[in-house]
Amino acid sequence: MKTIHHSASTRTWTGKTYQNFLGSFKEHQCGLFFDAAMETRTKRIIAEAFERCPLVLRKLANKSRLTVTLSVFNRTFENNFCTIYGTSPEYGDPHLEVGKVAIGAQLPPFVCHEACHLWWRRQLSEAQRLKYIKALLVQMSGSTQLDVTEYAHEYWVDFKDAVRGKISAATFDKLDPGAWMKLRRFAEESFCESVAKLSFPDYKSDEDWRSTVDLNARRLLIESLLCMEVA
Ligand SMILES: [Zn+2]
């Protein structure tokens, strides 16, 4: 089992805020690199959640040498349940921060969501992402759609506000940079939420949210354009 050491020179993006993403990380049999000081019980819980994620995601996480810490506070520094950092390949080894509040039955889909960011940023080509975003826009503007989870839908609303509700596949090429960024952000978060929901049907089922997304159509989009087999 390998050990990785990260310093401010191997993780230039950490700055002052993310100091505790530096230090030693020990490889676990699940392929993740855990903070060397992490408790055995916590490691086991996170490893079990990770092992329930789709195999292609696990392989990518392991190839990318994903390191993991448990949050200092209840939520992550980004005020979320789980957060992944350094997802773009130029950042080197990515890092997953698991919020203490995420330890529980929903941990597997949370970890799955975060690992999907790696797929989006590291596995796909820009051409694949563009094709998907275009197809997603068609899917979302077909009728009044509520995306897969409220969390994903908030990014859609953000985009709709930016274009004042004028959405059609034809507007795709005429978006200003601000609106385009919002559409990209929505597509990425929505993809992560969709894979989490497809892989773990119970995901966020306690939330009062009635999605109108045809999950099977979404699955086909992900399988055909993003080359990911979803369980
Ligand atoms: Zn996300």
* pLDDT tens per residue, range 194-213: 999 999 999 999 999 999 99
Query: If you measure from the C-alpha of residue 148 to the centroid of ligand 1, how many angstroms do you get, rounded to a whole number?
Result: 13
Q: Where are the alpha helices (DSSP H) in the chain?
A: 40-51, 55-63, 107-118, 126-141, 150-162, 177-199, 215-225
Query: If you measure from the C-alpha of residue 128 to the centroid of ligand 1, how many angstroms do you get, rounded to a whole number?
Result: 19
pLDDT greater than 70 at residue 143: no
Which residue, among 3, 6, 43, 9, has the nearest Cα to 21 in the 3D structure? 6
pLDDT greater than 80 at residue 168: no
Residues, the chain: 231
Query: If you measure from the C-alpha of residue 223 to the centroid of ligand 1, how many angstroms do you get, rounded to a whole number?
Result: 19
User: pLDDT at position 187, please?
Assistant: 98
User: Looking at the DSSP assignment, which residues form a beta bridge with residue 23?
Assistant: 6
Query: If you measure from the C-alpha of residue 38 to the centroid of ligand 1, how many angstroms do you get, rounded to a whole number?
Result: 24
pLDDT greater than 70 at residue 169: no
pLDDT band, residue 6 (cuts 50/70/90)? very high
User: pLDDT at position 170, please?
Assistant: 65
CA distance 116 to 114: 5
Residue boundaries of the structural domains of the chain? 3-107, 126-225
pLDDT greater than 70 at residue 13: yes
Q: 87, 53 in Cβ contact below 8 A?
A: no
pLDDT band, residue 127 (cuts 50/70/90)? very high
Query: If you measure from the C-alpha of residue 80 to the centroid of ligand 1, how many angstroms do you get, rounded to a whole number?
Result: 10
Q: Which residue has the higher pLDDT, 38 or 163?
A: 38
User: pLDDT at position 25, please?
Assistant: 98
Q: What distance lies between CA 159 and its chain's CA centroid? A: 19
Query: If you measure from the C-alpha of residue 189 to the centroid of ligand 1, how many angstroms do you get, rounded to a whole number?
Result: 5
pLDDT greater than 80 at residue 109: yes
- What is the DSSP pairing of strand 82-85 with strand 67-70? unpaired
Query: If you measure from the C-alpha of residue 227 to the centroid of ligand 1, how many angstroms do you get, rounded to a whole number?
Result: 19
Query: If you measure from the C-alpha of residue 81 to the centroid of ligand 1, how many angstroms do you get, rounded to a whole number?
Result: 10
Q: Please tell me the least confidently modeled range out of 121-135, 138-152, 215-229.
A: 138-152
Q: 199, 148 in Cβ contact below 8 A?
A: no
User: pLDDT at position 211, please?
Assistant: 95
Q: What's the chain's average pLDDT? A: 94
User: pLDDT at position 141, please?
Assistant: 82
Query: If you measure from the C-alpha of residue 169 to the centroid of ligand 1, how many angstroms do you get, rounded to a whole number?
Result: 24
User: pLDDT at position 197, please?
Assistant: 98
Query: If you measure from the C-alpha of residue 195 to the centroid of ligand 1, how many angstroms do you get, rounded to a whole number?
Result: 11
CA distance 62 to 193: 21
Query: If you measure from the C-alpha of residue 194 to the centroid of ligand 1, how many angstroms do you get, rounded to a whole number?
Result: 11
Stated as kind and residue range, the H or E segment containing 25 is: strand 23-27
Kindly state the greatest CA–CA separation across the chain. 54
User: pLDDT at position 173, please?
Assistant: 78
Query: If you measure from the C-alpha of residue 78 to the centroid of ligand 1, how many angstroms do you get, rounded to a whole number?
Result: 11
User: pLDDT at position 144, please?
Assistant: 62
CA distance 172 to 227: 23
Query: If you measure from the C-alpha of residue 44 to the centroid of ligand 1, how many angstroms do you get, rounded to a whole number?
Result: 23
